[in-house]
Amino acid sequence: MNTGKQQKPVLTGQRFKTRKRDEKEKFEPTVFRDTIVAGLNEAGGDLDAVAKFLDITGSRLDYRRYADTLFDILIAGSMLAPGGTRIDDSDKTKVTAYCVFTTDESHAALRLHAQVFSKLIRRYKYLEKAFEEEIIKLLLFLKAFSESEQTKLAMLTGILLANSTLPPPIITSLFTESVVKEGISASFAVKMFKAWIAEKDANSVTSSLRKANLDKRLLELFPASKQNVEHFSKYFNEAGLKELSDFLHMQQSRGTRKELQKELQERLSQQCPIREMVVYVKEEMKRNELQEQAVIGLLWTCLMNAVEWNKKEELVTEQALKHLKHYAPLLAVFSTQGQSELVLLLKIQEYCYDNIHFMKSFSKIVVLFYKEVLSSHEEAILKWYKDAHAAKGKSVFLEQMKKFVEWLQNAEEESESEGEEG
């Protein structure tokens, strides 16, 4: 017990010393601000000199602690209060005229500023996360900035996204209700995407959005009453961003197809009557503007997923033909065009190649479909055989089809000569 009492003063003393040390390292963003502002003013708009100054100064100033102050000044010219107002706007000695918000509203000028940030973050890797947080904060403060400042920030963000200095998920800050309802989010996004495309290309934008799972969230740039594909397409097409409009259409269609596939699988498992399935699919096609080519491939996949296939090659063909003959009327309704028939043949080829037990079934399935499904009969098969087949298992499947194709060609020649004689 006595030993415990003796130890108490030692522990108290240690805690006291820690507090004293903390007091010495007081949070002094104003001193930091003055140093950065002075350095930027001295560089006088020479961004190479700015990059050099920031590089050297990082070794004596605490960038880690004052990262938000540093980025506020580099972008807005002064420290920002919550909400985005300038803290020192009235005192010109504490503000710099050399920042993103005062630069020219041009891609070239903003690219130079983007390079300053990229160099700084490469040099001080620990600033990467702080910079992301800064941009997220500024996107939430957009209402506090002028239209020109919003435009410059949008262009800068687009360039930094194109060069992977910023990650795509920061875009989700544009979905905040306060900036969405003012129409700022959509306007900002258009300028940001344009800069991104100018810096790289449209494919870079769409693939990044897809990877970050933002492809289905783009409608959130608009208020709830306008969150539809038609409004998005009109807005982005008028802004000269048809690539983004087409991309959203494609993604929506992909989502619709997934839902349709899920529903079809369910109906097949319940052995729903074919006529009911036809009505359902036609309604979905009309409602979602789906093309026959997309639907026929989907139907084939669903039909082949609906069965537990025999593992024996000699039995699986018989099983498949019986199953497909039953559903041939369903496939026939949605393969009325040459392109749809070709899609179906390619799907069969792909399936038989990917499922080894079906390798010898290919020609038998095609012959069944020739009789039961394909409206143009031989035309699609001859085109597939001649030049439209896929590379997968090409030699095996062409060999399987050789005799049947020869028979088709002879039958075609005979009917032509009969026609001439008549």
Given a cut of 60, is residue 24 above it in pLDDT? no
- Residue 321: which of 279, 369, 277, 355 has the closest Cα? 369
* Same domain? 196 vs 114: yes
| Residue 210 maps to a domain | no
Q: Where are the beta strands (DSSP E) in 50-119?
A: none
Task: Count Cα atoms within 13 angstroms, Cβ side, for 356.
Answer: 2
How many domains, in total, are found in the chain? Answer: 2
* Same domain? 54 vs 178: yes
Q: Which of 202, 220, 250 is the last residue of a domain?
A: 202
| Residue 365 maps to a domain | yes
* Same domain? 170 vs 291: no
Given a cut of 60, is residue 106 above it in pLDDT? yes
Q: Which two tokens stand for residue 312?
A: 């024996």
Which tops the pLDDT comparison, 356 or 14? 356
pLDDT at 335: 86
Lowest mean pLDDT among 18-32, 102-116, 249-263: 18-32
Instruction: Give, as one character, the DSSP assignment of residue 100.
Output: G
pLDDT at 16: 41
Given a cut of 60, is residue 11 above it in pLDDT? no
* Same domain? 175 vs 285: no
Q: Which two tokens stand for residue 333?
A: 């309704």
| Residue 31 maps to a domain | yes
pLDDT at 15: 45
For residue 195, what are the contacts with CB-CB under 8 A and spacing of at least 6? 107, 110, 154, 155, 156, 157, 158, 159, 162
| Residue 27 maps to a domain | yes
Question: Average pLDDT in the 152-166 region?
Answer: 97
Q: Is the dihedral of CA 388, 391, 397, 403 positive or negative?
A: positive
CB neighbours (10 Å) of residue 138? 25
Q: Give whole-number Cα distances, 238 to 184, 200, 282, 313, in Å.
A: 16, 21, 32, 57
Q: Which two tokens stand for residue 298?
A: 């989907």
Contact 41, 96 (CB under 8 A): yes
* Same domain? 198 vs 291: no
Question: Average pLDDT in the 260-275 region?
Answer: 90
| Residue 3 maps to a domain | no
Which tops the pLDDT comparison, 330 or 290? 330
Q: Where are the beta strands (DSSP E) in 263-346?
A: none
Q: Which of 202, 225, 243 is the last residue of a domain?
A: 202
Question: Average pLDDT in the 153-176 region?
Answer: 96
* Same domain? 197 vs 281: no
Q: Percentage of residues in the chain with pLDDT exceeding 70? A: 89
Given a cut of 60, is residue 92 above it in pLDDT? yes
| Residue 260 maps to a domain | no
CATH number for position 290: 1.25.40.180
| Residue 295 maps to a domain | yes
| Residue 224 maps to a domain | no
Range of the domain at 192: 21-202
Mean pLDDT, the chain, rounded, equals 87
Instruction: Give, as one character, the DSSP assignment of residue 168.
Output: G
Which tops the pLDDT comparison, 10 or 143? 143
Can you say how many angstroms the Cα of residue 218 is from the centroid of all Cα atoms in its chain? Answer: 9
* Same domain? 68 vs 190: yes
pLDDT at 414: 62
- 3-state secondary structure string, 203-267? HHHHHHHHHCCCCCCHHHHCCHHHCCHHHHHHHHHHCCCHHHHHHHHHHHHHHHHHHHHHHHHHH
Task: Count Cα atoms within 13 angstroms, Cβ side, for 174.
Answer: 26
Q: Which two tokens stand for residue 276?
A: 């009911």
Cα 329-332-334 angle, rounded to 5 deg? 120
CB neighbours (10 Å) of residue 346? 17
Q: Which of 173, 202, 231 is the last residue of a domain?
A: 202
